[in-house]
Amino acid sequence: MINWRENSALDGHEQVVFVNDEALGLAGIIAVHSTALGPAGGGCRIWSYAKDEDALTDALRLSRGMTYKNAMAELPMGGGKGVVYRMGADRAACMERFGESVEALSGAYVTAEDVGASVADMRAIARRTSYVAGIPKEGGRAGGDPSPWTSLGVHLCIKALLGGDVANCTIALQGVGAVGFGLCKLLLEEGARVIAADVSAANLERAAGIGAEVTDVARIHTCEADVFSPNALGAGLNACTIPEIGAPIVCGAANNQLETEEDGARLLARGIVYAPDYVVNAGGIINVSAEYLGESEAAVEARVRAVPQRLVRVLEAAKTEGLAPHEAADRIVRERLAAAKRV
């Protein structure tokens, strides 16, 4: 039994729902952090954890992160997240059951793909609820896998941080899954040198196949590069890794990259420019939000192309206010949330 009351990641969450079905072998969580700006939007992560409590901590942290990400991207959505941490043999039935729990929230939470989830999973969820996105649409309407939009947003941010051009620059990619691989492709197409590492041999091989050099997962953050780009899981920037980072810029899609608040200050003290994760990785949720609202792909592209401007504003605010970039981003978001609550 998960002891949710004592979880330190609880932060004024509006709802936490446990999705358990012993017969199916399914265990999951839906965390709704905030609906102040609209329905809580955030993907469903399918992952195994050492302890069930870790799944709850992840759901709570990720859902809070979605509130911040959606507010920063100026989307009409609050923040939530699903986590499936035990999946039964009948995957489609498990996802349908998860969809029933999403439906029971009556629109407070809108789900989509996250790590480990696929379009097929979203189609199964959609058999039980309409509060789901990430399903391909026709006729220029937004929809489908959000990852390519996340890759594009991160790519544009890296470009902006490098003065507008990645040619002949070296980017160290930690994780070449859906987002990392898309980013790898965009970078190689524009003449960058890419060094990649991944725990999945198949994913690493796929990146090597299009021209990435490969290195060990334990060494990727130490590579001498222009940018270190974390695109795997969270908490990769911490007291152990930060002293070893070999690039002057960190910019990637992984959610919750800083293990603790102090890690933002550690990066600042080393003179490393940190592009706050939720500012740069908003491409996917921009697509999810547009799909849910029935908007066009062209609207998605225009919003994703605006992501680097937002990053530049955050970095400028950080400089002016003497804050670490993640603190400046959080400050901007808290003001937006407070204004929404006042309305």
Judging by beta carbons within 10 Å of its beta carbon (0-12, 13-18, 19+), is residue 285 exposed, middle or buried? buried
Q: Is 195 a residue that touches ligand NAD (CB under 6 A)?
A: no
* Cβ atoms within 10 Å, residue 239: 11
User: At a CB cut-off of 8 Å and minimum separation 6, what does 184 contact?
Assistant: 173, 176, 194, 196, 207, 210, 212
Q: At what angle do helices 178-189 and 147-161 cross, to 10 degrees?
A: 50
Q: At what angle do helices 297-305 and 147-161 cross, to 10 degrees?
A: 30
Instruction: Provide the minimum distance between the beta carbon of 196 and ligand NAD in the complex, in angstroms, as a whole number.
Output: 9
Of all residues in the shown chain, the one whose CB is closest to ligand NAD is 177
**How many whole angstroms separate alpha carbon 28 and alpha carbon 44?**
10
Binding string, residues 171-190; x marks residues near ligand NAD by CB under 6 A = ---xxxxxxx----------
Q: Is 147 a residue that touches ligand NAD (CB under 6 A)?
A: yes
Q: Is 231 a residue that touches ligand NAD (CB under 6 A)?
A: yes
Instruction: Provide the minimum distance between the beta carbon of 233 and ligand NAD in the complex, in angstroms, as a whole number.
Output: 5
Q: Is 289 a residue that touches ligand NAD (CB under 6 A)?
A: no
Q: Is 121 a residue that touches ligand NAD (CB under 6 A)?
A: no
- 81 part of the active site: yes
Nearest CB to ligand NAD, comparing residues 38 and 252: 252
Q: Is 215 a residue that touches ligand NAD (CB under 6 A)?
A: no
Instruction: Provide the minimum distance between the beta carbon of 207 and ligand NAD in the complex, in angstroms, as a whole number.
Output: 9
Q: Which residues pair with 197 in a beta bridge?
A: 174
Q: Which of 51, 69, 81, 319 is catalytic?
A: 81
210 phi, psi to nearest 5 deg: -105, 5
Q: Which residues bind ligand NAD (CB under 6 A)?
A: 114-116, 146-147, 150, 174-180, 197-200, 203, 217, 231-234, 253-255, 281, 284
